[in-house]
Structure 1
């Protein structure tokens, strides 16, 4: 017999996109830093100032931060509801709001079916992650069944 503490929360983050964007962000910072250092010594006759070098390095940091936003998605689900963090913004949903958890054919990521034909994308569960995404969907659906079973027992 399971106690209420035996239900473990589901926490999912994408895997493949993180493996790509983190090294890309590092490369962007390094490349733009090297370009910034070498910017003063150009044979073009254009005079670059220190402010131009700082701007070039800053541009590399900004582009790296933009790339790292793609690694931000996360899903946390427990008995009280779901917290979906996508590239920009975090939204909390109670299980009462969620009508279904689906992964439509050809979709890049999973979604929560909400009332009135609305849905919320769950970018943490991505099709490119293959077996990881399948296991995440199974865990999420199992948690949903547990929530419904507890509601039925009340």
Structure 2
């Protein structure tokens, strides 16, 4: 957890990015290895060539890049509201739009709650981070109480 002048809480998961980087490295290594081991031989219907090797390696690069999207999740909280970045989109919600942040009994990420029983998963706050995630939830609730004040969204 860290903070900046405009954000009181900036939280990123600790374990998820590490696992994502390790998985991306393994996937890329496997594709590079098989791409380089693919020899140019007659295999019956058609010959395999350099373009096939490049395609296998290229597919590995695309898979690894997709896996690395798991290094992006972030939660930021400040006077202007709550910003959630999951894999690609970054969304900002004002304090008057949300009901709070909760952790469901079954699930791997916290939920940002909205009126009408709607929610979005906050990938940054995960059970795998243990006490760090608990502290982030507590800090969120402190900031929510400070900034929300008497503003409550209509149900």
Interval containing the TM-score (normalised by the shorter chain)? 0.7 to 0.9
Counterparts of 2:5 and 2:96 in 1: how far apart (Å)?
Answer: 22
Counterparts of 1:6 and 1:74 in 2: how far apart (Å)?
Answer: 17
1:83-102 matches, cutoff 5 A? 83-102=83-102
How many residue pairs align between the two structures? 147
State the 1:93 CA deviation.
0.3
Retained in 2: the 8 A contact 1:40–1:47? no
Q: Which 10-residue stretch deviates more, 102-111 or 121-130?
A: 102-111
Q: Output the TM-score relative to the length of structure 1.
A: 0.84
Retained in 1: the 8 A contact 2:96–2:148? no
SS in 1 for 2:48: coil
More helix by share: 1
- CA spacing shift, 1:18–1:146, aligned 2, 3 Å: same
SS in 1 for 2:58: helix
Counterparts of 2:32 and 2:5 in 1: how far apart (Å)?
Answer: 50
Counterparts of 2:13 and 2:42 in 1: how far apart (Å)?
Answer: 45
State the 1:41 CA deviation.
5.6
Q: Output the TM-score relative to the length of structure 2.
A: 0.83
Counterparts of 1:112 and 1:133 in 2: how far apart (Å)?
Answer: 14
Query: Which residues of structure 1 form unaligned runs of 5+?
Result: none
Query: Which residues of structure 2 form unaligned runs of 5+?
Result: none
Retained in 2: the 8 A contact 1:22–1:68? yes
State the 1:150 CA deviation.
8.8
